[in-house]
Amino acid sequence: MVDPMEFRRTLGRFATGVTVVAAYDEGGNPRGLTANAFMSVSLDPPLVLVSLDNRSRTKPVLERAGRYGVSILGEEQRALSDHFAGRPQEGLAIVFVERAGAPVLEGALAEVVARVVEAHPAGDHTLFIGQVEHLAYREGRPLLYYAGRYARLGE
């Protein structure tokens, strides 16, 4: 038997970047959440994957929208990560821009928009595989997550 907290602590030793995954709701408003479960799947065709908790309010939005934007955050965007992780930040300017029919955060280190091509239930999460329809990046330092807290890239 694997203890869930020990599982979480062990896998937390895998350093990841931090993203905000967003989609438009039925009213055309962007809805998003902070996620570090994002990865590339294939170069040909270009596919990416995001994993969303089945209890997430963003999951049904993404299912209906059929496409999602992934904003890969820079280290100066920690407040955005906290906000979309359910810790609202007073006075935070949140600016979404539309790219290829999905919302991404203005000023993100990188942005990817994907059209959902497959969704796979996986335990308490759903894996959304998307075909990339837009991507862009800028130079900068990534916001990292390691062992349950934010981290910085060393020199």
How do residues 93-131 score in pLDDT, each as one tens digit? 999 999 999 999 999 999 999 999 999 999 999 999 999
How much is the pLDDT for 94? 96
Instruction: Judge whether 22 and 31 are in contact, CB under 8 Å.
Output: yes
Question: Rounded to whole angstroms, how far apart are CA atoms 71 and 137?
Answer: 10
| pLDDT level of residue 152 (50, 70, 90 thresholds) | confident
pTM for this structure? 0.94
pLDDT beyond 70 at 56? yes
pLDDT beyond 80 at 155? no
Strands of the sheet containing 30-35, edge to edge, are: 30-35, 19-24, 67-72, 110-122, 125-137, 47-53, 38-42
How much is the pLDDT for 107? 97
Tell me which residue of 123, 113, 116 sits closest to 62, measured CA to CA.
Answer: 116
